[in-house]
Chain A
């Protein structure tokens, strides 16, 4: 049964494991917790000319966070840490404003449209953005 908050596509996206796992050759890595519930997201990344070349994630989190990590991973290649930061900020603004699309240029994130009335869950959507940004900055630091 589909649900406003948990549409069938979200469950499908959350089970997308194409980018799950570790990168043995990772140039940067970061693990962040959702401070409110303890959910945990880790990202490993490699960079090429300051941009994400490859990545893998490990997500011990709710369905919403899993889906967000999967969507972000699929759209992250070629982006910088600042790009990821800006994407997260834009998505936060979209969630607060109940905008359509939630994230301009990235219609896939409308998957989270049902969350806009549930402010406590915004952190679930945004945790992967913060973790990926941190991992990318870690990789930047290693190459600088």
Chain B
């Protein structure tokens, strides 16, 4: 669609028409947790399930061929979204599964004494698998610090990413501070040290196509449900020679080349990493979501969302005054339209509970980023995470709800 219009986009999301209670409209500001599903994805899923539901790569009847074509086409679409060859895209159960796959399969190639560098900003999905790998293989974990406003501290990286570091894992954009990581700069530092770079795209990928060759990373992961696809699908991209050197994580059907009683050989990537019947319908939905998102005017959408983000931050400062603490940058530069905050004297869950009375959906808690919150010295925060369909009404409802909550909780 050319020329961005939030109103036109809202019409594509049936769920935005619901009421959370009689007379209470939905104001969905929890897109960082799960993206809502546009009609195009819903239609693609229904069409697939009602005209092409079958297993893939096995039977040759019409439904099976349709399912196989749809599944392969979904891979092609995701690959185009990331500007990479389809052979380098592996469907997984999600981002967490994708990172665990790298940590297990690539991790087995690392030797005791090697190190992995991970930032303080990471979601648990990009920390815990590396801790498990480190314990299993005798590796060291290197902590990459963030700045006071919650951005990756680039200045510290050349000193910390030394020759022992074989893999660096960072988020493309923090799910708490919203800060966007300058991935190309991190990739250059990692490359100088001879380390590979894995980037967690869970938060960034929903905001439009990603040009992976320009980023210069070696692995990239994304989560389907955050793009508005069904749950249960994600993708892992890796450079083909890296994938080809990796052993499969799971064994079973679909991932084999030849099976004998004593031993088996494995298919080439990506099939090597897709044991069993894959998430066919979710993958079809992910392909549809990528097509839908690709058609949005992203410059226009981001400008719209940044204006709303600025309005939200200003409103929070006005309403909460000295009680407000932003968990992330105040500036609108190099960030996602996502604002995490603490209002002194209120608990994020209590705040979110009262916001829900106005139909405002925010998330409260540590957002699976306990290390980040520990560095900020708080147990949790409330988070508003925007999508292109959000509008001024959503922000005003959120600010009004925060006013309500402060009256209830601080009186």
Interface residues of A (CB under 8 A from B): 31-33, 35-37, 117-121, 123
Contact = CB atoms under 8 A, between A and B. Distances in A.
A104 to B, nearest CB: 20
A32 B111 CA distance: 32
Contacts of B56: 120
Interface stretch (B62-70, B118-126, B175-183, B199-207): B62-70
Q: Which 4 A-B pairs have the closest CB atoms?
A: A33-B258, A120-B68, A119-B68, A36-B57
A36 B254 CA distance: 7
B257 to A, nearest CB: 6
Contacts of B59: 120
Interface string B244-261: 000000000011111100
The residue among A33, A117, A119, A123 with the most chain B CB atoms within 10 A of its own CB is A119
Interface of B: 56-60, 64-65, 68-69, 72, 254-259, 267, 271
A33 B257 contact: yes
Given A119-B65, A120-B68, A35 B254 contact: yes
B58 A35 contact: no
A117 B256 CA distance: 25
A32 B266 CA distance: 11
A36 B58 contact: yes
Contacts of B64: 120
Contacts, number: 34
B310 to A, nearest CB: 46
B258 A119 contact: no
A119 to B, nearest CB: 5
Contact of B258 (A31, A37, A117, A118): A31
Contacts of A121: 60
Contacts of A118: 60, 65
B69 A119 contact: yes
A54 to B, nearest CB: 25
Given A35-B271, A36-B57, A120 B65 contact: yes
B251 to A, nearest CB: 12
Nearest to B58: A36
11 contacts: A32-B258, A33-B258, A33-B259, A35-B258, A36-B57, A118-B65, A120-B56, A120-B64, A120-B68, A121-B60, A123-B57
Nearest to A123: B57
Nearest to B69: A119
Contacts of A32: 257-258
A119 B66 CA distance: 9
A32 B56 CA distance: 21
A35 B69 contact: no
Contacts of A120: 56-60, 64-65, 68
A35 B65 contact: no
Contacts of A123: 57
A105 to B, nearest CB: 23
B60 A35 contact: no
Contacts of B72: 119
B70 to A, nearest CB: 10
Contacts of A35: 254-258, 267, 271
